[in-house]
Every structure is written in C-alpha cells, then in structure tokens.
Amino acid sequence: MPTSLGQILEIQHLRLRYPRSNDWSINNLNLCIRPGERLALIGPSGCGKSSVAKSILHLLPKGSRCEGKLLLTGKDPRILPQAELRKLRGKAAGLIFQDPMTRLNPLLTVGGHLLDTLKAHPREFNSIERKQRAEELLEKVGLSTSRFKAYPHELSGGMRQRLAIALAISLNPPLIIADEPTTSLDVAIAEQIMSELSILCSELNSSLMLITHDIAIASKWCERIAILDKGTIVEEGTTQQILTTPKSNVGQRILNAAKEREGEQRVKQEPKSIILKVENLRCWHALNGWPWKTNWLKAVNGISFQLHKGESLGIVGLSGCGKSTLCRSLIGLTKIRGGQIHMQGHNLLTLKGNQLIKIRRLLQLVFQDPLACLNPKMTILEAVIDPLLIHKLANKVDARRIANNLLEEVGLSPVKNFQHRFPRELSGGQQQRVAIARALATKPKVLICDESVSMLDAETQTEILSLLNSLQQKFGLSIILITHDITIAKGFCHRLIILNKGKIIEEGSIEKIFSSPTKEITKRLIYSSPKIT
C-alpha cells in the first residue's frame, strides 16, 4: 500500500554503515518513487547503488547501522518482525539481481523456485493455484512450461534472468528493483530482457528502479535518472535533462565517457607479421544420447583466423555463440577435438612439457570478473608475484621489484597504498588493473580479454580500455577482445569477427562491419546496442 504521500518508496536522509567500516556507504540520501514511475539509479563503481537496494529490502549484514527515514509502501522494513519482513519483500518489492546463477538454488528446478516463492505466501494461493500461477509466470517472461523441471545450470544466461524476473513479479509487487539485470548478457538478449521487463511493469502498473552503470540503458528505459556518488544523490531529473545538461561533475563525466565510447574508432593500421594463427579449430562437447550414438554440442566448429602483431581483434556474438569456448581453447582450458593453433610458428597442439609451458605463457587471459579470479587470501603484490615464481622467471627479490613496476604500469600508484591490500578492498576497476598486471607478469605476446570491462561502469570501462591501448603500444601486445557489446569493440578494435553457433559468419574492418553489415545477426547486434546519441 502506498505511503500517505502516494509514493511507493520514500527515503529521507538515509545513512548506512556496514560492520567493521568507518565510512558511510550511503550518506544523507533522499529518494522517492511514485506509482508506475521508472527511475534509473546510476553512478560509478562503489558509489553505493547496490547498497540502496539492500537497504530498501533490509538485506543487510548483522551489525550494519542504517539511519534515516525509509518507507516501502508505507512500512519501515527495519522495524518489522522477520515473518512480516519476508512477506513485505515479496509482496511490496521484487528484486532482480545482476547474476541470477549466484542467487538461484542449484538443487531446485525452475518450477521448484516459483512454487517455493509462492508457498512462502500461503494466503495468496492454494496448492492448485500455485502450480497454475507458476506456469503462467513462465509464459509471461517467455519461458516454455517444458522448462518447469529443468535446473538452473540447464538454462542460458537469458533464460536464468527470465526466471529471476518471474520470481520478482510473482506476487505483483508495486515496486521492482532491477540491480544491473543485463550486465552479463549480450546486447540482443539484454534488449529482449529489458523490453519484456518494461512491458510487465506496464501490465502490473509496477514502478521500476533500474540500478545500472550504463547511462545509455538508463536513458532508453527510464523517464527519470538519479546520479549517485559516494553514497549521496548529487543530481536528479528527467532523462532528457540529464542527457542534455548534466549539472554535477559526476553526471558530466558519465555522459562524456558514454559518448566517447560510442564515438571512438581505432585508426586503421597496416597488417604486420602474424603472431597467432588458428586453423579449422573444433571444440565439441559430448552430450547424453542413445547408447550407440554420441550427440555433440559443436561449441566451436571449424574456426579459422589470424592475429597480427600489435593488432586488436574483436570477437562478438550472441550468448552461446562459442566466444568463451574459443577463448578457453586458445589458452588450453578446454579440450580441442581438431584443428591447429600456431603461436610464433609453433603448433600448440603438438608441443609437450616445458616447451608447451614456455609458449603457453605468451598467451595470457584477463577474465570478466577479477574478484573471482584473484586469490582472496593473497595481497595485491603477492598476486602479481605469483606467476613470476611459478614460471621461475625471477627470484623473490627480483619478483617483488618487477611486480611493483607492473602495478605502477597499470595505474595503481603510489604502489605502497595498494600492495598490501586484498582484492576485496579494491574497487572493480582497481581489481581489473591488478588482473592485467598479473597477466603481464609473464611478458605475453597476446592478451585475451574475455568480457574484461562488461562489469564496470562506462567511465571505468573507458579508463581500462585506454590503459589496455597504452600497454599495447608500449609492449607491442596483440589483443583479442571478446565482448557481447559491439559498441565497445568498435571503439577499441581494428578488426571484428562475428560468431554464431560456433562458426564465423562475418569478419572485416570496423568500418566495413558498421557501414555495410551483411548478416542479420550483425545488424541485430549493432541495432540492439544501447546508445545515447
């Protein structure tokens, strides 16, 4: 039920401090959302966006200090008994997380998740109605009822996000909070998900709070934007006002970074010597089938391409097209069924022992989520020293000196302020800088960046891509950028490859791909990319 002022959400002078922290994650925040309104909450990494969502639903760790006025449909979630709080969470607000796989129970089926949610509110539905409602929800979000008994790991990223939306709208809440709901999806699937979410909000007359770091997405789906910085809203207004005349420094930086990302295009370069050559590469995965016949998932099916020295090659495609499988196969993390990979004239598939290790270290990978790939028990300095010692490239004294220099190279300066900190104590952009420094420790010739900026805000994306560009020039690196966002590839890469169902369907220079795409999937990727210009 709305508040006395007709608002679904009312926040005044809110402050939040987490346990064992001396800083306020949210500081004097004021925000209201009216029925049916669509508000985007945007800001740089670490500004407190997700903390706002957690505060609204009181999903805070014990010992947190949360002060100020907070009313959700007229009730303060902080003072409710646990039983009433659980009811409020599903009935007043539904939450859609960034990565549904981390929030879904791997032991529950798709239907089991929905039934479990509906059972928590027994007064709303009886046992027969629960099954009917669960199937109805699947149809609403575009999931076939044949998936009712499927498990989360059997769904694609887009399907899992559809399930997350079904769970969020299951009780027709007046407010839906979507916390970076499309970050891990390709642009075409993201477009579908946001379109479906927008339609559902209209059908339910639900308000939408879209938490995002991407001002282009915010401008496309929301009528109002609030910009958050250091836990405080520094600017708020209509989407048109924010896009045309942002008043805050943060708003201007976010808008300029987005425009720079869209407008950039790498200068065409003359081909240099070939450093990596892939021929007819095949990565097939055996699936359960008839005893006398093996069914194969042809994730990578006959891919051939070349990478030149100093070149940036973008590999783009829809979810499930084979991008990440190709990435893992190049560095030896996925079994290869056929084909050849030549690195500096050596076929990696025929090398063994120390010779293979020596060539393999010339190919290094920068992952999408730096926090997940860095050892949480190692300091930043130890994380960069580690590969130097593993490959016996330096003794402990020299390794420490080299690691300090690498941290300086990636912009973590002064190094003394970072070297003894742990990954969780850094922002997302700083974590990715550490991951890049670690990848550079073995002096690679080819750097493979697998969605390495997709989890970062536009301003930090621009910074990291600029860093990669400068490192490429300094060390003569060749870079393979794997991304679901063709706009990012446009601003960073010299050449593009479009993948679909394990095959290359289109390739060429950035200018050629964007001026005259020949395949429908390429056109769809270009059209679906969120833009502000």
- DSSP string of 438-483, one letter each residue: HHHTT--SEEEEESTTTTS-HHHHHHHHHHHHHHHHHHT-EEEEEE
What's the mean per-residue pLDDT of the chain? 89
Determine the Cα angle at 455 with ends 108 and 507, to 5°.
Answer: 100
- Residues in contact with 335: Cβ distance below 8 Å, sequence separation at least 6, in sequence order: 283
Q: Are the CB atoms for 110 and 138 separated by under 8 Å?
A: yes
pLDDT for 406 equals: 97
What is the Cα–Cα distance from 276 to 349, expressed in whole angstroms?
A: 13
Tens of pLDDT, residue by residue over 429-471, are 899 999 999 999 999 999 999 988 887 887 888 889 999 999 9
Structural domains in the chain, sorted by start: 9-260 (3.40.50.300), 272-362+446-533 (3.40.50.300), 366-443 (no CATH)
Determine the Cα angle at 288 with ends 284 and 293, to 5°.
Answer: 80
Mean pLDDT on 110-132? 85
pLDDT for 299 equals: 87
The strands making up 446-450's β-sheet, listed across from edge to edge, are 363-366, 446-450, 478-483, 312-317, 495-500, 503-509
pLDDT for 431 equals: 92
Determine the Cα angle at 408 with ends 434 and 394, to 5°.
Answer: 80
Question: Per-residue confidence at 267, pLDDT binned at 50, 70, 90?
Answer: low
H or E element that contains 187: helix 187-204
Determine the Cα angle at 2 with ends 93 and 201, to 5°.
Answer: 45
pLDDT for 498 equals: 95
pLDDT for 3 equals: 46
Q: Is the pLDDT of residue 369 over 80?
A: yes
- In Å, what is the CA distance from 43 to each residue of 30, 250, 253, 404? 15, 8, 10, 31
Tens of pLDDT, residue by residue over 416-433, are 989 999 998 888 889 999
Q: The pTM is what?
A: 0.79
Q: Which of 183-192, 210-219, 403-412 has the highest mean pLDDT?
A: 403-412
Q: Is the pLDDT of residue 4 over 50?
A: no
Q: Are the CB atoms for 334 and 326 separated by under 8 Å?
A: no
pLDDT for 292 equals: 63
Q: Is the pLDDT of residue 288 over 80?
A: no
Q: Is the pLDDT of residue 85 over 60?
A: yes
> What does DSSP assign to residue 266?
P
Tens of pLDDT, residue by residue over 304-343, are 999 999 999 999 988 778 888 898 899 888 889 999 999 9
| pLDDT > 70 in the chain, percent | 95
- Residues in contact with 317: Cβ distance below 8 Å, sequence separation at least 6, in sequence order: 186, 323, 484, 498, 499, 500, 521, 525
What is the Cα–Cα distance from 468 to 409, expressed in whole angstroms?
A: 11
Q: Are the CB atoms for 300 and 321 separated by under 8 Å?
A: no
Here the tokens at position 389 are 């010692």
Question: Per-residue confidence at 495, pLDDT binned at 50, 70, 90?
Answer: very high
pLDDT for 46 equals: 77
H or E element that contains 495: strand 495-500
**Stronger pLDDT, 428 or 208, i.e. the higher one:** 208
| pLDDT > 90 in the chain, percent | 57
The strands making up 175-179's β-sheet, listed across from edge to edge, are 93-96, 175-179, 207-212, 38-42, 224-229, 232-238
What is the Cα–Cα distance from 256 to 51, expressed in whole angstroms?
A: 25
Helices 520-528 and 187-204: angle between axes, nearest 10 degrees: 60
What is the Cα–Cα distance from 150 to 318, expressed in whole angstroms?
A: 22
Tell me which residue of 8, 14, 170, 13 sits closest to 75, measured CA to CA.
8
For tokens 């009886």, the residue is 126
pLDDT for 291 equals: 61
